[in-house]
Amino acid sequence: MKPMLYEQISRRIAQHSLAAGLLGFLCVLAVDLQRPANALETKDICSQAIDRVESSRKMPGELMTAISHVESGRWDAREEALYAWPWTVTNGPDGQYFPSKSAAIAHVKKLQAKGIRNIDVGCMQINLRYHPDAFEDLDSALDPETNAAYAAKLLGRLFQAHKSWAEAIKHYHSANAQFNRPYHDKVVRQWNGARRIAAVEHRANVIAAHRAQREKWRAERAAQIADASNPVPQTGTP
């Protein structure tokens, strides 16, 4: 057991009574061992890449975030939040979250060695069978920025072809109405939620910026009053 982990465990046990503390400790430890070591860092990779792509391509706000949550969303019970996982690989009903990019690539190669071609990869779950020319190699296919950029390009083409984002969402998943309508509904639910969260965050940022500016003005005014109350003595002969 690593020293740092031992210290963390010791502190946790000390915070509880013997009986309740031991039970709580075992539960927390079980969760920790199930989480990838880089989970806290990895969960932001897709969202950051998607934000940059949406801004640069002028996509509808939070649309790609919503799609990524449906495609590669992973629930974080600790934070009670859903986030896209960059090292997601899906073959039919078999979808898996991998702890690293290299592990995801190794799994894709294993599937391909078996002759399997219907494979979705990355934040936006681009299908390697139906989009064989989307990426130079598996490394770029599982690169969050490249993966998201291709998804944005694909959505743009679908929007141009069908003249609506609703239809673009549907055809991103399938041309078959039996499958794309339920998918569209899932994305819209996620999209509405993501936009509500974004609106709350924007409002909080605006309020924080306003308060900071107001405090700056108050400080400047206080400095002016202090200067006026303590004039600099004049030098020279009266």
d(CA 35, CA 57): 34
Residue 236 has pLDDT above 70, yes or no: no
* CATH code (residue 99): 1.10.530
Where do runs of H (alpha helix) occur along the chain?
3-14, 18-34, 39-42, 45-57, 63-72, 101-113, 138-141, 144-162, 165-173, 177-229
Tokens of 135: 């990426």
Q: Do the domain assignments include residue 14?
A: no
Residue pair 195/61 in contact (Cβ under 8 Å)? The answer is: yes
Q: Do the domain assignments include residue 186?
A: yes
Residue 1 has pLDDT above 60, yes or no: no
In this prediction, residue 5 carries a pLDDT of 39
- Identify the bridge partners of residue 76 per DSSP, sorted by sequence position: 81
Residue 8 has pLDDT above 60, yes or no: no
Q: Do the domain assignments include residue 98?
A: yes
In this prediction, residue 214 carries a pLDDT of 78
Residue 212 has pLDDT above 90, yes or no: no
Q: What are the DSSP calls for 39-70, one per residue?
A: HHHHTTHHHHHHHHHHHHHTPPTTHHHHHHHH
Strand order in the sheet with 126-127: 94-97, 88-91, 120-121, 126-127
d(CA 201, CA 171): 31
Write down the pTM of the prediction: 0.67
- What angle is formed at CA 142 by the lines to CA 191 and CA 78, rounded to 5 degrees? 55
Q: Which CA distances in Å does 3 have to 6, 7, 9, 12, 27?
A: 5, 6, 10, 14, 20
Q: How confident is residue 234, by pLDDT bands cut at 50, 70 and 90?
A: low
Q: Do the domain assignments include residue 111?
A: yes
Q: How confident is residue 20, by pLDDT bands cut at 50, 70 and 90?
A: very low
Range picked from 17-26, 171-180, 186-195, 200-209 for highest mean pLDDT = 171-180
Q: How confident is residue 237, by pLDDT bands cut at 50, 70 and 90?
A: low
Residue 200 has pLDDT above 70, yes or no: no
Residue pair 76/67 in contact (Cβ under 8 Å)? The answer is: no
Q: Do the domain assignments include residue 127?
A: yes
Query: In terms of residue numbers, what domain contains 77?
Result: 41-199
- Maximum separation of any 2 CA atoms in the chain, in Å: 100
Sign of CA dihedral 116, 122, 125, 126: negative
Q: Do the domain assignments include residue 101?
A: yes
Residue 61 has pLDDT above 90, yes or no: no
Q: Do the domain assignments include residue 53?
A: yes
Residue pair 53/145 in contact (Cβ under 8 Å)? The answer is: yes
Q: Do the domain assignments include residue 16?
A: no
Domains: count for the chain: 1
